[in-house]
């Protein structure tokens, strides 16, 4: 089972990650298409931001470390949930989905993020 967190819960999740392992910088994995990332993106603050479109994940799996927490992000949370479940099935134990995606991120964390 992959947990879902709201963007407003992300700071707490990051804090929990740091408490478990202060050396493992969490990753926010943005699985949107390049045009979406150009339209609206988030600022990395306390995490590493990586962009891998959903369709590229299977062939780029080796680029993702299994020993770091990963929070998956998309537009509304559907694609990122699919990727989070896929990663979990591939042996990634510390994976969450950011429910509501970047759309909710703009409402809950950073209103400067454009909505589309």
Residue numbers annotated as active site? 74
CA nearest 27: which of 48, 51, 4?
48
Please name the helix (run of DSSP H) or strand (run of DSSP E) that holds residue 84, with its range, or none.
helix 78-89
Is 61 within 8 Å of 88 (Cβ atoms)? no
CA atoms within 13 A on the CB side of 111: 0
Distance of alpha carbon 61 from alpha carbon 44, whole angstroms: 21
């Amino acid at each position: 089972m992959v947990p879902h967190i709201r963007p407003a819960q992300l700071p707490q999740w990051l804090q929990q990650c740091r408490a478990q392992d202060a050396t493992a910088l969490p990753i926010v994995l943005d699985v949107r298409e390049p045009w979406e990332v150009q339209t609206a993106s988030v600022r990395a603050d306390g995490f590493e931001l990586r962009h891998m479109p959903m369709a590229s994940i299977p062939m780029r799996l080796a680029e993702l470390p299994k020993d770091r927490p990963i929070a998956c992000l998309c537009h509304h949370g559907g694609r990122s949930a699919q990727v989070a479940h896929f990663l979990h099935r591939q042996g990634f134990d510390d994976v969450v989905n950011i429910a509501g995606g970047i759309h909710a991120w703009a409402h809950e964390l950073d209103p400067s993020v454009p909505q589309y």
